[in-house]
Amino acid sequence: MDHSLLRLLHLIGLMLVVMGLSGAIFAARAGFGNAKKELRRAAAFSHGIGLALLIVTGFMMLSQLGFHGDPPTWVKIKLVIFLLLGGAISATIRWSSGIWILLPTILFLCGFAAYLGVFKPF
């Protein structure tokens, strides 16, 4: 698969993760009554599909770049960020009152992961 296509799919996965987390935060915060369960389900679906795209395309790109065996430090940091974003759906649903802490934290994690992927500093 072409590296540019993998990068595009990787970015789409990141967008889906952020969309799912934001949707979960706002659905939990607004309390939409009966529609709340459906909105949370859609947010969780988006989040899960995004995570799957991120991990699959990430490892495919690593393989294309020739990294086999022990990954470099920047990849290990990105895997930790992946795990944090994966568990963040639970925090967003249970702690929606912390919206002004959750949203910037999610934005920072995604931005830092993008920085690591583009510049590969370590």
- The pTM for the full model equals 0.88
pLDDT > 70 fraction of the chain, expressed in percent and rounded = 98
Residue 35: pLDDT band with limits 50, 70, 90: confident
pLDDT tens readout for residues 61-81? 999 988 888 889 999 999 999
Residue 100: pLDDT band with limits 50, 70, 90: confident
Domain locations in the chain? 3-119
The 3-class SS string of the chain reads CCHHHHHHHHHHHHHHHHHHHHHHHHHHHHCCCCHHHHHHHHHHHHHHHHHHHHHHHHHHHHHHHCCCCCCCHHHHHHHHHHHHHHHHHHHHHHCHHHHHHHHHHHHHHHHHHHHHHHHCCC
